[in-house]
Amino acid sequence: MYSEKVMDHFTNPRNMGEIEAASGVGTVGNAKCGDIMRIYLDIDENHVIRDCKFKTFGCGAAVATSSMATELVKGKTVEEAMAVTNQAVMEALDGLPPVKVHCSLLAEEAIHAALWDYAQKNGIEIKGLKEPKKDIHEDEEEETDWQA
Amino acid sequence: MDGIVYLDNAATTKTAPQVVEAMLPYFSEHYGNASSIYGLGQESQKAIDQARERIGVSLNAAPEEIYFTAGGTEADNWALIAAAEAYEAKGKHIITSCIEHHAVLHTCRYLERRGYEVTYLPVKENGMVDLEALKQAVRPDTILISVMFANNEIGTIQPIEEIGRLAKEKGILFHTDAVQAYGHLPIDVQALSIDLLSASGHKLQGPKGIGFLYIRKGVKIRAFLHGGAQERKRRAGTENVPAIAGLGTAVQRAFTGLTERMEKESRLRDYLIRRIEEEIPYCRLNGDRTERLPGNVHFCFRFIEGESLLMLLDGKGICASSGSACTSGSLDPSHVLLAIGLPHEIAHGSLRLTLNQENTVEELDYTVEAVREAVERLRGMSPLYEDFVKQEKLK
């Protein structure tokens, strides 16, 4: 079902983790739908992405697209990072099954959300970047009995 | 661990070697059509009669009440559609549960589009149908109650005796989808007042593509497939003799020493449940603890998603299943997990392990280790877990 590249990025995710005091953080997705992606960016004074990390709750494709997206934006300027579209992520992974295309969209949105956070913090504008959709964490009351 | 650890017996089972052996002669040796008059055909007829006899005995039913089908799905479709049509003069109301298999649920939807009314009973947190809700749902125009014997995902065994009694008192037909239960639990259609029962061969180490519908004598049910006179003119088509012979052998195997097998599987099941509960934090056992299929283990693990978990387990040679959206082919997690009241994000993190008597304690130990590692790894990647840990620190 998945390409070898997807399996590789799922099994050995690149850049998984957090960045303390990141220049920009973006979280997108919705636990209700089963995918949440968080991207951390470390950006230098020349607007170059020095480091990028991710955390993802989701299926194999969600993990693989996050991993690939971090690889694609690392070392790029923020403007160049805008060219990392979901299409680019999918191509780099040798394609995704049709039901998983939304994962690549989420990866693109997560990068944009992190860039937006960076732009807001620094009072700059990145060409083509729009305000991300509101993070849709649902505040559902939990009444589930957990075995702690 | 060499090879694979197969823990998806609710999906399908390994065909038993004796079953394969029983089937083989009916391909190129006794290949005659059972409807033919000559000896070669009669060999096939004998195999069919023997299988029907064995199934009848297993259910405390007469052999002529057993009708072979191409599997559980066909039996469910047939039971519901034919019963609805046969009894529509009495009414057009059907009662079922909201945790049925799609073979029943989608057939109900089909009937709704054709003017029938269907009540979908809610279930309690343990997955059991609410008998009070059932009583209240019964109407003068109710013609059929269809409630599964045991649930395929969370393993909960339904109060079939009570439902059967109520249906009988009210003069309503009672169908049960026993695909997960048949061959794994004792079933007596007389004692349980079951009028229609669906079962499938490949869930009890029989072949795929064969099943049956039990139809109580006297129940007016029309033919489902029209054509030849096979299956007492109710299910036309040349019989799948090798599969029927295989099913007969599978049934005989399943019901020989059933009690001992149930005990053995329950012990393995409870061992697996206990180890997971003790060793993996933030897990939740779904389904009833005791009224549960002997081989069923079903958990949700908080902060993670099921498909990733299955992929990591697959990497360790473990075959399991999940009710996450990604494995259901839609954006919603399993309807069963939502029906027992789990929020979406928790239902996404589910894992079903279904064992049989051939699984060993070593395999289960290996599995617990693999699940624990995989869950930890996925939590390490999960922003939900990250947020949770940060919140816990603030407390």
What would the pLDDT profile of B98-110 be if each residue is shown by its tens digit?
Answer: 999 999 999 999 9
**What is the pLDDT, as a whole number, of residue A134?**
63
- Facing residue for A57 by CB, picked from B303, B311, B325: B303
pLDDT of B3 > 70? The answer is yes
Mean pLDDT of chain A: 90
| Cα distance between residue B285 and residue B144, in whole Å | 32
End-to-end Cα spacing for chain A: 35
pLDDT at B39 over 50: yes
Q: Residue A16: its chain B contacts at CB < 8 A?
A: 380-381
Instruction: Give the predicted TM-score (pTM) of the model.
Output: 0.94
Q: What pLDDT shows up at residue A139? A: 43
| Chain B, nearest residue to A138 by Cα | B345
* A67: nearest CA partner in chain B: B381
A132 pLDDT tier (thresholds 50, 70, 90) = confident
CA dihedral (B46, B48, B51, B55) positive or negative: negative
B108 assigned to active site:
no
Q: What is the mean pLDDT of residues B77-105?
A: 97
Cβ contacts of A10 on chain B, cutoff 8 Å: 308, 311
Whether residue B381 contacts residue A55, with contact meaning beta carbons closer than 8 Å, is answered with yes
Domains of chain A: 4-120 (3.90.1010.10)
Residue A34: the pLDDT is: 86
What number is the average pLDDT over the span B203-230? 95
What mean pLDDT do residues B163-189 have? 98
Active site residue A33: yes
Contacting residues of B for A142, CB less than 8 Å apart = 343, 346
For residues B219 and B232, give the distance between their C-alpha atoms in angstroms, rounded to a whole number.
14
pLDDT at residue A67 is higher than 80: yes
Q: Do B343 and A142 touch (CB under 8 A)?
A: yes
Q: Both tokens of residue B211?
A: 């099943």
pLDDT tens by residue, B122-165: 999 999 999 999 999 999 999 999 999 999 999 999 999 999 99
What local confidence, expressed as pLDDT, does residue B220 receive? Answer: 87
pLDDT reading at A143 higher than 70: no
- Prediction ipTM score: 0.89
**For chain A, percent of residues with pLDDT exceeding 90:** 80
pLDDT at residue A138 in the model: 43
pLDDT at B213 over 50: yes
**Do the Cβ atoms of A57 and B307 come within 8 Å?**
no
Contact at 8 Å (CB) between B173 and B87?
yes
Residue whose structure tokens are 């509960």 = B277
Residues 272-311 of B with CB under 8 A from A: 277, 280-285, 300, 302-305, 307-308, 311
pLDDT for residue A148 is more than 60: no
SS3 B146: strand
